[in-house]
Amino acid sequence: MIWQPLNLTEVCPTYTPITACSSFGYVYLNLLVQLYGGSRDERPHRDYREPEDIRDEYDFIVVGAGSAGCVVANRLSDNPSWKVLLLEAGPEQPDVTLVPGLSTALIGSNIDWAYTTEPNEKSCVARPGGRCPWPRGKVMGGSSSINSMAYIRGNRADYDGWAALGNEGWSYKDVLPFFKKSERNVNIEALNSVYHGVTGEQYVSRYPYIDKPSLMLTDAFNERGLPLTDFNGAQQLGTMQAQAFSLSGERVSTNTAFIQPIRYKRKNLTVKPNSEVLKILIDENKRAYGIIYNENGNILTAFAKKEVIVSAGSINSPKLLMLSGIGPRDHLEKIGIPVVQDLAVGENLHDHVSFDGIIVALSNKTATTVSEEEVLEAVQDYAAMKIKRGPLSGNGPVNSIAFIKTDPDLIAPDVQFQVNYIPNWREFLEDPITGASVSIFPTGFYDAVLPKTMNLVPKSRGALLLNESNPNGPPILYANYFSDESDLIPLLKSVRFLLSLEDTEAFRSNGAYFVREPLPACRDHVWGTDDYYICLARSYTSTSYHPVGTCKMGPAWDEKAVLDNQLRVYGVCGLRVIDASIMPFVNRGNTNAPALMIGERGVDFVMKYWREHNEPYCSY
């Protein structure tokens, strides 16, 4: 078995009312392991033999088989004269990741790096140690294999903003073709659209199963004046059931889309899971020429004739650069790492901040709850289906999304509403921290929803540092949520809009209402007041899993820039970073679609360069 679920013994307190921590939770997870713990990727691998002439020298080495890395490796290996090595620290993609309705069961499992943030006393206060969890995919496909699959690109103002900072080639007009290149959108409205692609590798579609509460939410947002819209089209402002990285009721990760179809067919592509890169090799001329990596306990070396491309994500890309001597001089010298290049690696860390605690209870006629026996039956039925249908082929209310402006004069939306599910809101109300950390049951069965207001334009900035006592271990993550207290303002304004949904016909006809009982950490505040919601935001802070910015792209005069506009590391030859860590500021929306685009845009720079040159460019 490849997949190992969250260890309930470690995360469940001695007493909690949360059903996931009961004996049924153990039975349920054991069933998931038996049905979905293996991997489709293992099956062809058993009979595959690497060609005998495979050596440890390649044209390109790609570090990280995640949202961007899989795209990069696919495009580079399309040239049969280039040998490409793709390494992934995690295992093959287990079958449990394919089931949309099991997306939350992946958090905290062995395919999650399971990072946590450092306390700052302004956020995450009610969580253990004042730390928020930061899931990241440690598996083929990276976070595209464990996320909630919403396909949202952001706003054109984001990319025009990147270009305005001096990053030529990154305006909306520049990047739209690269969004479209990957996309294979199967919904009818995408046909003949100037905004969508229909021939790419990455399938995009709506789920075959969308339940009644999800439609209720979209109807309510619509009643409150938000138009039905294609978030990735002409207008982002509005509401809709968002499309997903899925096809026919299954997740389509970047591993599924870009690597599986070519992995055992292109002889010039070598893919190594369970291989964590420990260091980039850089010579005395500051040229990256290879890597050292740990493959299943064996320390190995591989060499790159052209480039090393780091696509390990917003946490592991800066970590690897610093381990290799590229980063803030003071920090590296303190740890004892020889400095190759003094750059602001790890700075500019930021994320879309949100919080838990606003609960919408559903009436018995609208709730989708079922018995424990029916949950187990649904899990088994989905596994037996050739054509995937039913609650597990969707993702509950998660794709019920809306974008608003909290000020009409803003150039673009500043708040996104995303919705989580609550299997039993009375349990959750008593122990919301455990309820959030053991959200293991299918997302299609619930009696309440948890609409979350997400600040799309956070001003707070944090930093990532190596752990001084164990540099190779988990890095130190200073999320620094609400260090700039103005980040609370859009959240408070959007809460008022959210509460007005209770007056819509959609809510009234379905018997939906806001639970007006305060959560435990905020019982000293009156429900419905600004003080109460500020308490919720500070106590039950939550991430949208969108950390970015730690290897910032920017012009040479930008002291915080790590990369130039073609994603080349300043001061080092033959080394690029291509993933969401390059973002100068986060896009207005989910970050997986932009990560794919960054993969396409970045590798296009690589391919164009090497068609015309024989030596790596040095961005001095």
CA gap 492, 515 in Å, rounded: 18
Active site residues: 546
* Residues 82/60, Cβ–Cβ less than 8 Å: yes
pLDDT digits (tens, 9 = 90+) for 231-276: 999 999 999 999 999 999 999 999 999 999 999 999 999 999 999 9
What average pLDDT does range 130-154 have in this prediction?
Answer: 98
277 among the known binding-site residues? Answer: yes
Q: Which two tokens stand for residue 296?
A: 């299943």
What average pLDDT does range 14-36 have in this prediction?
Answer: 97
pLDDT digits (tens, 9 = 90+) for 169-227: 999 999 999 999 999 999 988 878 899 999 999 999 999 999 999 999 999 999 999 99
139 among the known binding-site residues? Answer: yes
pLDDT digits (tens, 9 = 90+) for 36-85: 999 988 766 555 555 544 569 999 999 999 999 999 999 999 999 999 99
CATH among 3.55.50.30, 3.60.40.10, 3.50.50.60, 3.40.630.30 for 39-93+139-206+252-350+545-620: 3.50.50.60
What's the pLDDT at 188? 83
Q: Which two tokens stand for residue 406?
A: 């909290």
What average pLDDT does range 131-153 have in this prediction?
Answer: 98
Q: Which CATH class is domain 118-128+208-242+352-543?
A: alpha beta
* Residues 448/90, Cβ–Cβ less than 8 Å: no
Three-state DSSP string of 105-164: HHCCCCCECCEEECCCCCCCCCCHHHCCEECCECCCCHHHHCCCCECCCCCHHHHHHHHH
* Residues 252/203, Cβ–Cβ less than 8 Å: yes
Q: In the chain, where are the structural domains located?
A: 39-93+139-206+252-350+545-620, 118-128+208-242+352-543
Claim: this prediction has a pTM higher than 0.95: yes
What is the phi/psi pair of residue 366, to 5°?
-105, -30
| Helix and strand totals (H; E) in the chain | 17, 26
The one-letter amino acid code at 379 reads V
* Residues 211/228, Cβ–Cβ less than 8 Å: no
Three-state DSSP string of 514-549: ECCCCCHHHCCCCCCCHHHHHHHHHHCEEECCCCEC
CA gap 478, 545 in Å, rounded: 14
pLDDT digits (tens, 9 = 90+) for 383-413: 999 999 999 999 999 999 999 999 999 999 9
